[in-house]
Amino acid sequence: MSDAMLEMTGIVRRFEQGGAVLEVLRGADLAVQPGELVALVGPSGAGKSTLLQIAGLLERPTEGVVRIAGADVSDFDDGKRTEVRRRSIGFVYQFHHLLPEFSAQENIVLPQMIAGVSKRLAKQRADELLHMVGLDARGSHRPARLSGGEQQRVAIARALANAPSLLIADEPTGNLDPHTADHVFAMLTAIVRQARVGALVATHNMELARRMDRILEMRDGILVEQTAA
């Protein structure tokens, strides 16, 4: 059995538009190992977001197999897919999507309580993650009192709250200035290595992409591997 945190085999995704069939993904294959950062690049409209949605079990492929931490989830019903997302997948987006009425700590506590963790343990885990992202002193602050980089660090901590095996990030530094983006990406890399999470990161920033372990380019609906070095 593979040790990959994510495996996608023969992923096809077709859409019907005005009576015509649009094939966005034409047999994409990928695997992400524990502690590995894989960059997903390609022009807008190439299918990167569709692939991320399928990897995150937010959308079903027309054809193909998806495995999360070795388990074939392709035929899971919606309830089981939701359970796997909650337990095994963390999401980070370009915009942090923090809940503005809650503190940084509370934003990290909430997904744990939804997953059935007690409030006491959830707060303990939140404080550990805030320490990990260098925001010990900011846990009681609401998002409006945090800088853009701090908000994104909280969003990364929230994505890791339930100790997922897979992290899916869509332009996680795209809304930050270059200096802050560099700092946030370095922190994200350190956490992925330490926690042995598999990370699939879509980005238009080729400088950041080259700092990851591998680069997969979406080209004509399939994935072509480049050399990250």
- Residue 109, pLDDT > 60, answer yes
pLDDT in tens, 7-34: 999 999 988 877 888 888 999 999 999 9
Indicate whether 91 belongs to any domain: yes
How many structural domains comprise the chain? 1
- 37-81 confidence digits (pLDDT tens): 999 998 877 788 899 999 999 999 999 999 998 889 988 999 999
d(C-alpha 58, C-alpha 90), whole Å = 12
C-alpha to C-alpha distance for 23 and 42, rounded to whole angstroms: 16
Sign of CA dihedral 96, 102, 106, 110: negative
Residue 206 near residue 11 (C-beta atoms within 8 A): no
Strands 198-202 and 89-92: unpaired
Q: Is residue 175 part of a domain?
A: yes
What are phi and psi for residue 216, nearest 5 degrees? -110, 125
Residue 48 resides in a domain? yes
Q: Write out the two tokens for 204.
A: 């238009």
Tens of pLDDT, residue by residue over 93-105, are 877 788 999 999 9
Q: 83: domain range?
A: 6-226
- CATH number of the domain that residue 65 is part of: 3.40.50.300
Question: Does 1 map to a domain?
Answer: no
Judge whether 96 lies within some domain. yes
Output the six-digit token pair for 197: 């999470």
Q: For residue 43, tell me if it sits in a domain.
A: yes
pLDDT for 140-194, tens place per residue?
999 999 988 888 889 989 998 988 999 999 888 877 788 888 888 888 898 889 8
